[in-house]
Chains A and B, each alone.
Chain A
Amino acid sequence: MGRITLDKVQKKFGDVEVIPPLDLTVEDGEFVVFVGPSGCGKSTLLRLIAGLEDVTGGEIRIDGKPATDLPPAKRGLAMVFQSYALYPHMSVRKNIAFPMKMAGMDKAEQDRRIAKAAEALNLTDYLDRRPGQLSGGQRQRVAIGRAIVREPAAFLFDEPLSNLDAALRVGMRLEISELHKRLDTTMIYVTHDQVEAMTMADKIVVLRAGHIEQVGSPLELYHAPRNTFVAGFIGSPKMNLMGGEAAKRHDAATIGIRPEHLDVVDGGGTFIGKVGVSEHLGSDTFFHVHIPEMGEPMTVRAGGEVGLRHGDTIHLTPQADKIHRFDEKGLRIE
C-alpha cells in the first residue's frame, strides 16, 4: 500500500515561499512524475514527502496516517538520489544490506532479499565489488536495489538518470518502468526532462514556481494543455505559440500548433515563410521556418524525405481541429 496525500502543504525558506499551499493525491501503485524547469520546487516537494525537509504548513498522510512529523525512516519510503549516494567504503552487498541491518532484520532474511534484488537487477556478479569499481548504470541499479529490499510503501526518485549518458538513460528508463510494472508499488519520480515524464508516467504533475500547473496523464497533457506554460513544456519539439493576427482569426489571445500538426502544402497555405535550419533525424525532418510577420521561427515536422533546402519558400497549413486556443491569461479556451 502506498497512497500519499498532501493537504495544503507549504514550504518556506526564511521569507521565501518555495511551495505555496498545495494539494495532491498520489494513488496506490501509481507512477507519478513531477516535472518542471529547474528551480520550480519539484525536488523540494519530493524531499518534503521523504521527510528530509520539514513542512512549514499543511499535512502529509501516507496510507491515511498522518506522517508530517515522522522522521524519514519511519515513513516507509525509499529514495534514490541523483548522485546515487552509495556508501563508497562498503561492498555492493553491504550497501544493499544497510537499511535491513539498521532495521535489525535477521541475517537469513537479509541474504534472501539481497539475492532476490541482485537477481532482479542483474547485480549478482558484482555483489562483492565496491561502488567505485562499477559503471554509472550499475551504481544506479545498486541504489535501486538498496531501495527495493526495504519493501517500501513508495519509491522516491530524485532525477536519477541525469548523471547517465543518453544511451544508458533510455535503457534505465525502460528498466525503471519495467520494475514499476513488476513491483506494482507507488513511485514518485522527479525530472526536468519532459521526455522522461511522457514515457514513464501514469500521471504527470507539471510544476512552475511551486504551483501545480496541471495534473493528468501524459496524453491528457499533450492533447489538452490547460495553459500556455504546459503547452510549451510538454511535447518535443515545443509547440509553436503565436499571438497577434493569427490568433485573432481564431478568437483567442494566443494559439498553439504542434510541429506535427502543420502540413506542408504546395501553395496557398495559411503561413508562408522561408526554411531556416533543418534537422534530419531520418524518420522525421524538423524545419525551422521564418515567417515575416512572426518574431520566432516556427518548427514544422515533415516526413523523412522532403526536398526543401535552406532559403526555400514553404507553405504551411495547420490541421484545423488540432489548434489549441488560449485567452489573455494564457488559459485554455475549450
Chain B
Amino acid sequence: MATEHSKSSARIMIAPAVFVLLVWMLVPLCMTLYFSFADYRPLRATFDAWIGFDNYVSFLTSSSFLSSVVTTLQMVAGILVITIGGGVMLALLLDQPMFGQGIVRILVIGPFFVMPTVSALVWKNMFFNVDNGLFSYLFKFFGAQPYDFLSQAPLLSIIVIVAWQWLPFATLILLTAVQSLSSEQIEAAEMDGASPLSRFWHIILPHLSRAITVVILIQTIFLLSIFAEIFVTTNGAFGTRTLTYLVYQRVLESQNIGLGSAGGIIAVILANIVAIFLMRIVGKNLDN
C-alpha cells in the first residue's frame, strides 16, 4: 500500500465489506433505539411511537434490574477465575513432555467445539440430574445424600458449565504463551536459587500477564451475553437471571418490546463501559 493509487484502490475494494458490516450493525441498533422510546406491546395491539423515557425509567427502577446486573457480574467473575486459574495450570501441565502429547492437546480443545445448548443439556442431564446424574451416583457411592445442583446452587452450576466450555480457549492461549518463555530464563532462575513455586510466581506468571489480559478481555465480551446455558438449565429462575436474560424475558415473556429494547440499550451502554475499562487495562499491559 505504498502509492496513492494503490491506497485509493484498496479503499474501493474494502468499501462493500465496510458497508455491509455497517448496515448489519446500524439497522438493528437504530430499530432497538426507536422501539425503546415506544410503547409497543404487539399482543395487546398497543403501539405508541413516542412515550419519552418511560421505558428506561421503569426498566432501571424495577427491582429485577439491579439484581440482574449483580448476577451478571458474579457469573462473569466466577467463570473468569475458574478459566484463568485452571487454564494456567493446564497450560503448564500440557507444556511438559509426555506420551501422546498431540492427541491430549486436541482432546483438551474439545469442549470449545460443543455448542452451548448441547453442553448445557449434557451437564444438566448427565451430571447434575438428581436421579440419574453421574454426580448423584458419586455421592451415593460415598454414602452421601445426592445434591440437587441446579436448584440448590444454580448460579454455581451455570458457572461450572460455562467455565468448562471456555477453559480450552484460555488453556490454548496460555499454552502458547508458556511455550514462548525461553528455557534459559527458567534455568537462570534455577541457578539463582528460585524454588519451583517462586519460579512460577516471579518468572512464569509475569510472562503470562499479557496473555491473561487478552483472555480476560475476549472472554468478558462473550460472557456478558451468555444466554443458552441459562435458558436450557434454570430458565432464569433461582437468581440466575442475568441482564441479557432479563431483556429476553421483557421482550418475549412479557411481550413488551418497548421495555425490552430500553433494557437492550442499557445493556449495550454497560457493556461498553466495561469494555472501555478493559481496553485501558489491556492497553497499559500491552505497552511494556
Contact = CB atoms under 8 A, between A and B. Distances in A.
| Binding between chains A and B | yes
Interface of A: 50, 52, 71-73, 77-79, 81-83, 85, 87-90, 98-99, 102-103, 130, 132, 146, 150
Contact of A72 (B184, B190, B198, B207): B190
Contacts of A79: 187-188, 191
A88 B184 CA distance: 13
Contacts of B198: 102
Given A77-B191, A98-B192, A99-B193, A85 B202 contact: no
Secondary structure at the B interface, as helix, strand, loop or mixed, is: helix
25 contacts: A50-B191, A52-B191, A71-B190, A72-B191, A73-B190, A73-B191, A73-B194, A77-B191, A79-B191, A81-B187, A83-B182, A85-B182, A85-B188, A87-B188, A87-B202, A87-B206, A89-B206, A102-B192, A102-B194, A102-B198, A103-B193, A130-B288, A132-B288, A146-B192, A150-B192
Interface in B172-214: 182, 184-185, 187-195, 198, 202-203, 206-207, 209
Nearest to B198: A102
* Most central of A72, A85, A150 by chain B CB within 10 Å: A85
B186 to A, nearest CB: 9
Contacts of A132: 288
Secondary structure at the A interface, as helix, strand, loop or mixed, is: loop
A52 B288 contact: no
Nearest to B288: A130
A72 B193 CA distance: 8
Interface of B: 182, 184-185, 187-195, 198, 202-203, 206-207, 209, 288
Nearest to A150: B192
A84 to B, nearest CB: 8
Nearest to A98: B192
A173 B251 CA distance: 76
A78 B188 CA distance: 9
Contacts of B202: 87, 98
A243 to B, nearest CB: 44
A120 to B, nearest CB: 19
A87 B191 contact: no
B190 A52 contact: yes
A85 B190 contact: no
A52 B193 contact: no
The 5 closest A-B pairs by CB, nearest first: A73-B193, A85-B188, A99-B192, A85-B184, A89-B206
B120 to A, nearest CB: 39
B196 to A, nearest CB: 11
Nearest to B192: A99
Contacts of A81: 184, 187-188
A99 B190 CA distance: 9
